[in-house]
Structure 1
Amino acid sequence: MPGPLPDGEPVPADGSLPESALRTAGARGFGVYVHVPFCASRCGYCDFNTYTVAELGGGASRDEYAGTVLRELELAAGILRAPVDTVFVGGGTPTLLDPGDLGRILEGIDRAWGLTADAEITTEANPESVTPASLQALRKAGFTRISLGMQSASPGVLAILDRRHTAGRAPRAAAEAREAGFDHVNLDLIYGTPGETADDFAASLDAAIRAGVDHVSAYSLIVEDGTRIAGRMRRGELPYPEDDVAADRYLAAEQALTAAGFAWYEVSNWATSPAARCRHNRLYWTGGDWWGLGPGAHSHVGGVRWWNVKHPSAYAKRLAEGVSPGLARELLTAEDRRVEEVMLRLRLDDGLPLELADPRGSRQALADGLLEPVPYAEGRAVLTLRGRLLADAVIRELV
C-alpha cells in the first residue's frame, strides 16, 4: 500500500506561493506532472499512490477524474504564469483513462499556462492497457512520447512481480506506438527480481533492443515495506535481492545497450541520441520547476516544495469546495537546495560543478576511481562506471 506523506507546514487554502518563489519560477524550465492514481491490479512490488477499484472506495470516480484535475489547473493558473516545456502523465496506469480525457487535461494545461511549440508530452502505460487505436488517439491528442512498463521478457519474472501482461506484449506495444507516430518510445526494465537469472535479464535486454525503441530505463528492484513481495520475502517464500547480483545486472545492461548504440545519460537511463533523452526527468534532475497535479502529487517552484492530499476522494472533495488540494509544504534553504543538486546532478552524464561538492569527499572519490579524471580537472564531478555502481555512496561523500 502507499506509504505516508511527509510532514510540513500547511499550504494556504488558496494555494498561493511566496513572492520569492514566483520571482524565479521557470528560470530552469517549467514542467507539469499529472498523477493518475488508478490501476487494474496492484503489482507485488508497488507502493506508489495508486488504487484498484476495490481499494478506491466511494467519493472518487475514474470517469470524473479529468474534470477534477481541470479544477486544480484552474486554481493553479491563478497562482503562477510560466510556459510549459514538458508534461509527464504518470501513475498508476494513465492509459486506463480514455484518451479523450487525457487530451482534455492537455488542453487544460495549454489554456492555463501555454505549451511551448516543442513541448515534450509523455504518458506512461502498461503494455496491456493500450491498443493501436488508443495509441493513435493519444498521438492525435498531442502526446509525443510514451513509456511502457515492460519490466521483463521472462514469464516467470513477470509472475513474481504480479505483472498482468504477457512476455511479448511490451515489444509489440512499442512497435504499435511507433506506427502511431510517437516521436520517442521508452521501455522500462526491472532487474534483480528473486528467481531472475542472468539469461533472463539478457533476454529482456535483447527484447527491448530488438523492439526498436530509442530509450531504455533499467532499475534495480527495491523491496518496499508493506508490499506483497516484501511479505513473501519475510515469510521465506522468496529470497531477498543481492547487491552483487544487482551490480552484475547493471554491468550487463551497460554492455548490451552501449553495444546497441545507446548511451547512458543518467545512472538508470540510456538513449540512442540526445533528442531521445527524457526532458521532463532531466528537469527534475537539474533543479527545474514543476507543478504536480493529482492526489499525492509533489510540486516544486522556486525553492518551495509541496504535496497534495493522498487519497483521490479527499483530493476531489477539496477541489469541489474550491480549496487547494495541497496538504503541506516546505521552504528549502540554500543548503537544502545544494544538497539536492549534488544528489541529482551527480547521477547525470555531465555531472555537477565541483564547487557544489565537499572538496575532501570529491578528492577521495577521485582517488578511489569513482570520478572521471578529465572532467574533474575541468571542474566537474562525473561518475565512472564503477562510480555509477556506487552512486549513493559517492553522493554521501560529496555532500
Structure 2
Amino acid sequence: MPSTLPDGDPVPPNGELPAAALASVPRTPLSIYLHVPFCTTRCGYCDFNTYTATELGDAPGASRAGYPDAVVAELDLARRVLGDQVPQVSTVFVGGGTPTLLPADDLGRMLAAIRDRFGLAADAEVTTESNPESIDPTGLRRLVDHGFTRISFGMQSVRPHVLRVLDRVHTPGRPQEAVAEAKQAGFAHTSLDLIYGTPGESLEDWRASLVAAIAAEPDHISAYSLIVEPGTRLAARIRRGELPMTDEDDLADKYELAEELLSAAGYRNYEISNWSTDPAGRCRHNLAYWHGANWWGAGPGAHSHVGGVRWWNVKHPAGYAARLGRGASPAQAREILTADQQRVERVLLELRLDTGLDPGVLTDRERSRLPGLHARGLVDTDRDQLVLTPAGRLLADGVVRDLLD
C-alpha cells in the first residue's frame, strides 16, 4: 500500500500562505506537478500514492472521468493563493501512477488550465510519465498537439524474469518502440527510466538493459537503485525468503557499470541517478526541485513548496475531490522550514548535481571536514564549487552525514 504521509501543522481551510512565503513568489521560478494516481496494476516494489480500479471501487469523486475537474479546481485554488504577481510557469510534470491511462485530451485539458491561469513560459518544459503499454502513436501525437514537449517511459529492465519480479506489465522491447514513436510524434525530449538491483538480476542482465536503452537513443536516461520499501509486496516476499535481499556491493557494481556504459555512449551524469546527452536533455523540472525553486503539486498526496513552506495533500482521491468540492484546500498538513533547515536541504540536494554546492553554504566547522573527505576521494575541492567524485556519488548519503553538523 502507499506509504503514510508525515505529520505537520494544520493548513488554513483556504490554503493561504504566510506573507514571508508569498514574498518569494514574484522573484522565484514556479513549477507545477500534477499527480495522476491511477494504475492498471500495482507493481510489487511500489509505495507511491497510486490505486487500481479495484482498490478505488465506487468511491465518490475517485473516478478517472471526473479526475481532471478536481485538478482544475486545485489549480484555481493555487492561482488565488499565489496572487497576482505569480510568474509564468517554467516547467510542468505529470507523474503518477500512469498518467497516460487518462485520455490525452484530459491531460491536455489540465495543461490548458495551467496555461489559462498562470501562463506558460515561452520555453516551458512540459513532461508526462508513461507506461509504454498505455500509449500509442495517436495518443502521442495528441499530447504534442496539446503542448507536451517531453515524455519519460518506465522501462526498468529488458529481461523478462526481472520484469516479473517487479510486477511490470510491459513487454520487453516495447519501451524502445515507444521512444521511436514519441520522436516521430514530435516530442523534443524522450527519457527511459531503469531500475537496477532487482533480486535475481545479474550484472549481465543489467548490462543488457543499459545497452538496450542506449540503442533506443533517448536524450535522457535515469537509473535508480531498487529500494525495498516496507509494506510493499516485494518486501513481504523478501521477508518470507522467496527472494534475496538487495546487496550493497551489487548495487555499487551496477552503478559503476551504468556510468561506464552511459559515458561511453555520450551521456553525461548531471545528477546522481540521471544522465543526458546534452544540457537541453536534462529534466528541468527535477532541477527546479534540486535547486529549491517554488512548485505547486496538485493531486492526492502531492507535495508543494513555496518560500520555505512545504505542504502535502490528503492521499485518497475521494477525500481529495471532496475537499475541493466544498471549496476547501485539499492539504492535510504543512511545515514551515527554518533558515537552517533550508540550508541543510540545500546541501542535501545541490551536492547531488554535477554543478555542485557553493562551500559558502557550509559552516566553518563543516568546511573544516572537507580535507578529510577529499583525502578519501569523495569530494572534489579544487573547483569553486564542492562536487562529489564518482566514488562520492556511490556514498552520497554518507558524505552528507559526515559533512553536516
Calculate the TM-score normalised by the size of structure 2. 0.97
Q: d(CA) in 2 for partners of 1:373 and 1:101?
A: 49
Match among 322, 325, 328 for residue 317 of structure 1: 322
Which residue of structure 1 aligns with residue 252 of structure 2? 247
Match among 360, 363, 370 for residue 355 of structure 1: 360
CA contact 1:342–1:398 (8 Å) conserved in 2: no
Letter in 1 for 2:367: P
**SS of corresponding position for 1:158:** helix
Which residue of structure 2 aligns with residue 71 of structure 1? 73
Q: d(CA) in 1 for partners of 2:176 and 2:277?
A: 17
**Shift in CA distance, 112/52, structure 1 to aligned 2, threshold 3 Å:** same
CA shift for structure 1 position 220: 0.5
Asked if residue 141 in structure 1 is aligned to residue 149 in structure 2, the reply is no
Match among 61, 84, 89 for residue 89 of structure 2: 84
* 246-255 or 56-65, larger mean C-alpha shift: 56-65
Structure 2 unaligned residues grouped into runs of 5+ = none
Which residue of structure 2 aligns with residue 103 of structure 1? 108
**SS of corresponding position for 1:172:** helix
Q: d(CA) in 2 for partners of 1:64 and 1:98?
A: 12
Q: d(CA) in 2 for partners of 1:118 and 1:298?
A: 24
How far does the alpha carbon of each residue in 1:342-393 deviate from its partner, in whole angstroms, 9 at most, with x for none?
A: 0000000011011223113323211211011422xx3x21000100111110
Letter in 1 for 2:40: A
**SS of corresponding position for 1:251:** helix
**SS of corresponding position for 1:233:** helix
CA shift for structure 1 position 294: 0.2
* 191-200 or 361-370, larger mean C-alpha shift: 361-370
- Within-5 A mapping of 1:11-30: 11-25=11-25, 27-30=27-30
Letter in 2 for 1:382: V
CA shift for structure 1 position 27: 3.1
- Within-5 A mapping of 1:227-246: 227-246=232-251
Which residue of structure 2 aligns with residue 3 of structure 1? 3
Letter in 1 for 2:351: L
CA contact 2:370–2:381 (8 Å) conserved in 1: no
Letter in 1 for 2:279: P
Match among 373, 378, 391 for residue 365 of structure 1: 373
Letter in 2 for 1:146: I
Structure 1 unaligned residues grouped into runs of 5+ = none
Q: d(CA) in 2 for partners of 1:306 and 1:82?
A: 20
Q: d(CA) in 2 for partners of 1:106 and 1:14?
A: 23
Which residue of structure 2 aligns with residue 374 of structure 1? 382
How far does the alpha carbon of each residue in 1:290-326 deviate from its partner, in whole angstroms, 9 at most, with x for none?
A: 0000000000000000001110000000011010101
CA shift for structure 1 position 215: 0.3
CA shift for structure 1 position 112: 1.4
**Shift in CA distance, 189/26, structure 1 to aligned 2, threshold 3 Å:** farther
Asked if residue 48 in structure 1 is aligned to residue 48 in structure 2, the reply is yes
- Within-5 A mapping of 1:137-286: 137-286=142-291
CA shift for structure 1 position 79: 1.2
How far does the alpha carbon of each residue in 1:185-244 deviate from its partner, in whole angstroms, 9 at most, with x for none?
A: 000000000100111111100110000100000000000011111000000000000000
CA shift for structure 1 position 76: 1.1
Asked if residue 302 in structure 1 is aligned to residue 297 in structure 2, the reply is no
CA contact 2:199–2:245 (8 Å) conserved in 1: yes
Q: d(CA) in 2 for partners of 1:260 and 1:300?
A: 36
CA contact 1:267–1:348 (8 Å) conserved in 2: yes
Match among 325, 336, 339 for residue 331 of structure 1: 336
**SS of corresponding position for 1:328:** strand
Q: d(CA) in 1 for partners of 2:10 and 2:56?
A: 26
CA contact 1:93–1:125 (8 Å) conserved in 2: yes
**SS of corresponding position for 1:9:** coil
**SS of corresponding position for 2:169:** coil
**Shift in CA distance, 248/28, structure 1 to aligned 2, threshold 3 Å:** farther
Paired positions, count: 396
CA contact 1:266–1:349 (8 Å) conserved in 2: yes
Structure 1 moving runs of 4+ over 6 Å: none
CA shift for structure 1 position 26: 5.4
Q: d(CA) in 1 for partners of 2:220 and 2:179?
A: 11
**SS of corresponding position for 2:46:** coil
Letter in 1 for 2:120: L
CA contact 2:45–2:234 (8 Å) conserved in 1: yes
Q: d(CA) in 1 for partners of 2:20 and 2:368?
A: 33
Structural RMSD (CA) = 0.8
CA contact 1:362–1:381 (8 Å) conserved in 2: no
CA contact 2:291–2:349 (8 Å) conserved in 1: yes
